[in-house]
Every structure is written in C-alpha cells, then in structure tokens.
Structure 1
C-alpha cells in the first residue's frame, strides 16, 4: 500500500483513514463516492456560514486579484476595516486587534501580553479546557491532549470550573455550583499568591470539553476576583465567538468584559486561516510607549481580512446571531430534551445558541459515563458505534469522550436541523436498545 504523503494531526499515522471530501454547499458536504452528509459540527465548529458561501468566496477572489499578501508593518485598508468591524462587535473596552494565523497562536500572544503587562509568571486555567496545540496553548489546556507533550504547562495552575452534572463541589443546584466554584478559585489564588498570577484564562462556554455553560454570576465573579488582585482575564472565544452561542461573544451573555479576548473559527468560517487577540484598555495602554515583543509574517493577511469583512457583513445583514439564539431555544433545546426524555442513554442535554452536547451514560441513576474521559479524537468503541450509526443516517456530528456535540453551521435550515437531530436520536436509539 502506498504511503500517505500527509502527516495527519491527533492520530497514529498508520491508522489514519480520512474520508475524502469532494465538495460542499451550505450545511452539507459530500465524498467523491457521492455520499452526502449534514455537517452537524460545522467541521471543527468553525463553519458558521457553511461550505462555499458565495459572498466570502467572492471577497477572497476579489482581494486575490487586487493584492494577495502584504507584510504586517505596512498599512492596508482591508486590514484596518476588518479590525474596526471586530472592535465594533467586541465587548466594551476593546481598543485594538492583533491578527494571528489561528486560535492557538492567538492564545500564545494573549498570555505573552498578560505576562508582559503584569510582570507575573503564572496562569490559572481550567481542567476541562482546550486552548490550542502550540507549546504555550497546549500548556494551559486542561484535557488529556496535553499529556503527551513533555514539559508543556510551566507556570500553569489548574482549577475546576463549574460543571453541576459532575460537580467537584458536591453542589445540588446551579447557584451552589457557581458559589463553590468561585470559592475554590479564590482559595487557589490565596495558596498560589495572587501577586504571582498574570492571568486567568477561561472559555466562557467550554467547547470541546463538554459545552459547559456556567451558572449565572460565575463569570462575573471571576472578573471580580481578577480585578481585586490586578490579574488579567483572558476569554478564549475561539469556539464561541461570532454568534455560536446566540450572542456575538459568549461573554456578552453575562455582560463580562475581558482584558484580552482570543478569536478565530467563526470570524471568517475558516475560509482563510486567521485568528486574533482583541486587546483591552489596560494592555493597550501598557504597549502605547513600549514595543510589543512579538509578531507574525502573516498577521492581518489581506485574503484573511477580506474574508473577515465579508463574513461579518453576512452575519450582521442576515441576522444569523439572533437566529442562532432563536433556533437554540425554540428548536434545539426542546428536541434534545424530548430525546433525553425517552432515551435513558442520554444523561444530560446542555447548550446555548447552536452549541450543544448530549452527555451519554451507561446508567442514569449513577451517571456512569458511557465512555471514559479522554481527549477528543480518541474515540472509545462505544462512541465509535454511535458515530458510525449517525453517519449511516447521513449526519456528521462530533464525539468526544462520552458526548455527542452538535455545532451546526449558523446558516443551516430549520428543516435540516430538525432532520439532523432526529437522525442522531435514531442512532442513539440503537445504542439504547
């Protein structure tokens, strides 16, 4: 057998067997053999506008004909326009945008900024979290993907975030969970010495580690703790930004203003690799008269910026952020709740907007998970069966540990959304039988 010339991420190379995709349109994609799949995870949660959106394709094509690339030390109208559009949508206090090539290097730069501004070494990060695969980003990642990277995470201190279904704090209500999670974080700060902590990094809604929606008041409490001790709050909105949770940013759901906000994925649906850091007032003022020690050759790449301008225009003009909020509450929540009502394998349903998770259990009474906690990509045989059953019904969700995640494109039709959820339910019925 001929060797594969592509080195594949997150998999043993001898076991890589990628499905070869021939094309896609909207919420659908198809293989060269003609199989069609409803993309219920928007690839990696990034394809907000679906496959081949004509406005974005046209914008990239037009920019390529005008100027393909330009060093970041030069000014470019499309770069400035993209930055201004992001700042207009960002939480109050946003001052500027550092463009990167993706979410992981956005996290790298946000952490570097925090350490430069505070002069402190440590970063507090959650156990159930993912922040990227570069050295610094995997170091603050909490899930098992970091285990195989020796030496990563120097200066990182981990904490438990709120997760009522599997509470580390023996809480019995959302209110208790939030209060006890904050007390835990405060105690950890006391033990570490708050004067040694540069930043607390959070996913406002945890993404690939379970779509964990925090209790009311939790994020505001984290913000208050940071303010009390001069610590910067970094919001990793790579998965949740630009409408995924039914608001422009998940922080907006609770009115929280981070000092630094990282983004990628939904800002342009990944049509051209791009990410960035939204820089708040304190950080912007620190670097007003001193150089920032960092940069990238492709920062603010013109093709990427053109795709951002087009994507944000579509999201605004088509009302897709409000539509995600509406579909989440009016369609997804009731349908998934109904599934949970008659499928004992579903232990909990949770989510906001068009970001949802079904947590699967072997026993509802004990909440024993259907599959053990593991890194996304390492699919347990039981979950592989679930995924196979979904694909046999023409839908392609995402599975991680004992969960099925649904992050469909924001442009998905209501009919397709209902059909897709029904197909997932049918697949889980087999697991339950």
Structure 2
C-alpha cells in the first residue's frame, strides 16, 4: 500500500509544512524552508526539478551520500524481518553493528551503548563519567556544540546554551583557535601550550577533585572546524591522567570519514575514555548514536546497574543502517576517498580561492571537513556581517549549491563520496559569489 500524500509539488509541500510543522532554532512566522523531494549521491532536488549540489551534507551527516543502495537495502531487509524489538533483548543486527563499531575503535574498547542521536550520546557519556569518578563537574569549551538536551546543551559553548541552562555542574574554558587567539599566540605551538596552561589553571581553580570529565569535540565543527594545534589533544589527555578526569571525545560530527579517518582523533596522538558518535555512522538514514565505552569504565557496571536507558536504544532499523553503511564505506574505500579529496581537491582549491579573494581570512580543515572564514577587513579580521552572509547563502542556493553557512563562515562539508568534478563545480559557485560580494565591500 502506497503512502497517501497530497499533491506532490513545491507549493503544496511548503503550505503543508507552514501549516503544521514547528521548526528548530527558528522564529516560526518568517520561515520559508527549502523544499526537497529526492536525492542521490551528492545531489538533491525539489518537485519542480530544480537540482542542488549538497555541500552541507544536510547537517554534516550524510557522509555516505544520499540514497546509497547498500544502506537502503539493509534497512529494507531488516524491516521485512523484524522492525522493532526492546533494547533489553539480544538482537543479531544490534550485535553486528556494535562489533563493527568497536572493531574500528582503539584497543580497550569493546562495548557500545546505543542512543537515538548525538545529544543523548553526550548525555550518557557525562552520566558514565560522573558515576565512574564520583565527581560532578564537566568542563567543555566555549566554542562547541554537543546537542540540545539537558546536559548536552549546557555543555555547549555557543549562544544556544544561554536560554537552556538548567543542568548542573558545567564549567567552560577557551580552547585553541589561533586565528582569533585568546592567548596572544603567534604560532600553533604557542597556541597549544598557552591553551593547555589555561585549561590546567581552570582545573586547579575549580578543584580537580570535583571534575568528572572534560568533554571536547575532537575537531570542533559547528564552532568553525577548528583543527587542534600540535600537541593539544595529547596535552589534554595528559592533564586528564594527572588529575583523574575522564576524557570524552565527541566524534558526532567529525567521525566516520568526515576528517578522512574513521575517527578524527586518530590524527592527534590521543585515546579518550569515552567516544560519542552519531551522524556519519549511518549518515542519518535512521536516527542513531551512541557511546563507545572503554573497558575500564564498562567494567564499573558489571555488578552495578547502569541507571540509563532509551526505548529505541539499538533499534533494529537503525542498527541495520549502521551495518549497511559501515560495510559499504569499508568495501568502497569511502573514508580513503574523503582523505584524498580533501588533500588533492578541496584543500588546494580553497587555497586558490583564498589567494584570489581578500574576503577569505582563513581556510582550515581536512578530509571533507573545511571552513572558509570570511572577514570584512583582512587586517582587523572583523567578521563579515550577518546580512552579507545571508546574501551569500541565498546567492549560492540560487546557483544550485546547498551551502553550510554558520556565523561568518562557509563550511565546505560535502559527502565523503564527493568527486573531484563535483568539488570543481562547487568551487566555481563559491568563486562567483565571493567575486560579487567583494565588489560590494
């Protein structure tokens, strides 16, 4: 039996949405959301046949691309066999998904607690750290995003935290960001050393004996794709060891191919105690996330009840999508493609754009995880105003490119399956729009 839908066109879809759908992070009265009807690979389209190259990966999660047949097939097969089952049961697909994930993790990680997404992954990692240490406080950076649930949103550093500060025990500090250094640093090495000194002073000032965890995005994503300077993450690991603090690395956005590796932290000489994930693990085809738990922390709950659970933890359709996605990514070399495209296509093309356009203050990134930071003045590094960024986003969409625009940045975040030709197409759109912007400054 087919779904019963209203007339399939852009206007009826928009009218239906505006009549009944309440959107996140938005004032509802002024919204005119983009209508999308289908997709394949790096492209999506609307009912009227307008085609867009998706260089946002939606919310930086469609790592395997739209409508990958292996993932669709895995979901379909699971739906025909068993659509849902309680998390308290043993389910073969759930076990296979967990095995594949832990096989990719560092040594000493053998258990996965499944959640519905990245926010509740961070919630449960925080819970585990507090129970493991018997301490309460969680330290995280001001430039971060960890999700929109109780503790996760308070751990977040940006403006979205402020209307939602209901959770207890959260302290923020400044992480490294050399382009806008809080530490008067002039080199990556200085930035790393001074940021670590600042963090240790916060630990000491808060009282190490009160701190359960430090929660960091391996590569802060929404905050600007802030590549850690040399030695920083390893230095945080050393501080955690010195003071008995659990290190949680949030790989929700950076993981599963986005940085050109299975886990972004693999490039930074660090192993955390807890790893949170979502997004790229199955490209968001079905909501899923989780915590990969070190053996030491997992053993705490061998004889003690873990006081947490979710009705849809390890949902069979989500687990099948993980199995299908990870198997396809491995056999098709998708993670390797992300690394190659970043090194040979995206990085060099962005460098050329930066040489051409003074409005680009800095480019940074790796894999298919890049940002162009746009400035009104290259000397003062004053951010390009919000109104101009809005016009840039509109112009890019008008040229058939779906961008990820955040603050004064364009994040260049296509699927890990993107081709060199598609990168060239996107770069031509960026070039044309930035040329027009520069004329108006």
TM-score of the pair, normalised by structure 2: 0.95
Equivalent runs, 1:191-202 vs 2, <5 Å: 191-202=205-216
Asked if residue 70 in structure 1 is aligned to residue 85 in structure 2, the reply is yes
Structure 2 counterpart of 1:392: 398
Task: Name the CA distance, whole Å, in 1 between partners of 2:178 and 2:422.
Answer: 31
CA displacement, residues 275-301 of structure 1 (integer Å, 9 cap, x when unaligned): 000001221121111110000111100
Task: Name the CA distance, whole Å, in 1 between partners of 2:206 and 2:415.
Answer: 41
Asked if residue 302 in structure 1 is aligned to residue 316 in structure 2, the reply is yes
CA displacement, residues 17-45 of structure 1 (integer Å, 9 cap, x when unaligned): 11111111110001112211100010000
Asked if residue 152 in structure 1 is aligned to residue 166 in structure 2, the reply is yes
Task: Name the CA distance, whole Å, in 2 between partners of 1:419 and 1:304.
Answer: 33
Asked if residue 109 in structure 1 is aligned to residue 124 in structure 2, the reply is yes
- Tell me the CA shift for residue 153 of structure 1: 4.4
CA displacement, residues 375-413 of structure 1 (integer Å, 9 cap, x when unaligned): xxxxx2211100011111111111111000011011112
Structure 2 counterpart of 1:240: 254
Asked if residue 130 in structure 1 is aligned to residue 145 in structure 2, the reply is yes
Asked if residue 360 in structure 1 is aligned to residue 374 in structure 2, the reply is yes
Structure 2 counterpart of 1:375: none
Please point out which of 144, 162, 165 is paired with 2:176: 162
Contact persistence 1:345–1:360 (CA under 8 A): yes
Please point out which of 349, 353, 371 is paired with 1:339: 353
Task: Name the CA distance, whole Å, in 2 between partners of 1:74 and 1:244.
Answer: 32
Task: Name the CA distance, whole Å, in 1 between partners of 2:220 and 2:436.
Answer: 29
Structure 2 counterpart of 1:383: 389
Equivalent runs, 1:9-408 vs 2, <5 Å: 9-149=24-164, 151-371=165-385, 380-408=386-414
CA displacement, residues 225-265 of structure 1 (integer Å, 9 cap, x when unaligned): 00111100000000011110011101101131111110000
Gaps of 5+ in 2: 1-14
Structure 1 counterpart of 2:432: 426
Contact persistence 2:341–2:419 (CA under 8 A): no
- Tell me the CA shift for residue 152 of structure 1: 3.0
TM-score of the pair, normalised by structure 1: 0.96
Task: Name the CA distance, whole Å, in 2 between partners of 1:285 and 1:95.
Answer: 11
Task: Name the CA distance, whole Å, in 2 between partners of 1:57 and 1:197.
Answer: 43
Task: Name the CA distance, whole Å, in 2 between partners of 1:358 and 1:91.
Answer: 32
Contact persistence 1:92–1:257 (CA under 8 A): no
Task: Name the CA distance, whole Å, in 2 between partners of 1:113 and 1:199.
Answer: 10
- Provide the alpha-carbon RMSD of the alignment: 1.0
Contact persistence 2:116–2:313 (CA under 8 A): yes
CA displacement, residues 338-373 of structure 1 (integer Å, 9 cap, x when unaligned): 1000101000000011000000000001111113xx
Contact persistence 1:146–1:152 (CA under 8 A): no
Contact persistence 2:62–2:283 (CA under 8 A): yes
Task: Name the CA distance, whole Å, in 2 between partners of 1:255 and 1:90.
Answer: 14
Structure 2 counterpart of 1:374: none
Task: Name the CA distance, whole Å, in 2 between partners of 1:91 and 1:175.
Answer: 27
Task: Name the CA distance, whole Å, in 2 between partners of 1:259 and 1:164.
Answer: 27
Task: Name the CA distance, whole Å, in 1 between partners of 2:166 and 2:347.
Answer: 38
Task: Name the CA distance, whole Å, in 2 between partners of 1:93 and 1:407.
Answer: 31
Task: Name the CA distance, whole Å, in 2 between partners of 1:423 and 1:318.
Answer: 29
User: Which stretch shows the higher mean deviation, 151-160 or 401-410?
Assistant: 151-160
